[in-house]
Chain A
Amino acid sequence: DAGVTQSPTHLIKTRGQHVTLRCSPISGHKSVSWYQQVLGQGPQFIFQYYEKEERGRGNFPDRFSARQFPNYSSELNVNALLLGDSALYLCASNTGQGIPSREQYFGPGTRLTVT
């Protein structure tokens, strides 16, 4: 079975632009979470979605938004990009309910560079 997939792998944008990152969860997983990982640090939680509804939001500005589609894939959108948004953006999926939902599986990430 395929794991969590993310696209694109790498992205270079300039300040002020917007970006859309995409994630497809593991088959059967209904919940998707997004994390930002700055080089040399642990991931920081951005959003969690389950059954197309937002379940949690981290301490990120309103420039960050996300949504989940009926097929459980998800998009993360970032507007008005800043240099500090340069990071590895990780998507994680889990079953969404029950004890197995505590186990989160991560994709390879999208490396965003803002110049």
Chain B
Amino acid sequence: QQQVKQSPQSLIVQKGGIPIINCAYENTAFDYFPWYQQFPGKGPALLIAIRPDVSEKKEGRFTISFNKSAKQFSLHIMDSQPGDSATYFCAASPAGNNRKLIWGLGTSLAVNP
């Protein structure tokens, strides 16, 4: 059972476009929602994260939108560049001392020049 459902599986955009990646969750105990970027052969790198008490967070060209009632959150990449081509993962973590992350299956993004 996939606790965090991520879509689409893959995405192709032109340079300057705004790719949007969506995630949905069921467990209301989740209270921390990060996005990670992973290049081939590398470990995931933390991009941006949000908690459910805010509806939007922006860091540079990356924006998270969060809809608590729908239990959905999404990543928007503004003015996308070929260097943004990577696999993006959403994740969720429950409240409490255990910091385990529950991950989506990932979205492979290709930004064409």
Contacts and interface: CB of A to CB of B under 8 A. Distances in A.
Contact of A103 (B34, B43, B98, B105): B34
A48 B43 contact: no
A28 interface: no
A42 B100 contact: no
Interface of B: 6, 32, 34, 36, 41-46, 49, 89, 91, 93, 97-106
Nearest to A88: B43
Contact of B106 (A41, A44, A50): A41
Interface of A: 4, 31, 33, 35, 40-45, 48, 50, 55-56, 58, 90, 92, 94, 101-109
Contact of A106 (B41, B43, B93, B100): B43
A42 B99 contact: no
A18 B112 CA distance: 43
B89 A55 contact: no
A102 B34 CA distance: 9
Contact of B99 (A41, A43, A55, A109): A55
A55 B98 contact: yes
Pick the most buried of B44, B46, B103: most chain A CB atoms within 10 A of its CB.
B44
Contacts of B41: 108
Across chains A and B, which 9 residue pairs bring their CB atoms closest together, nearest first? A42-B103, A106-B43, A56-B98, A45-B100, A102-B32, A108-B43, A106-B44, A109-B43, A56-B100
Contacts of A92: 101
Contacts of A56: 98-100
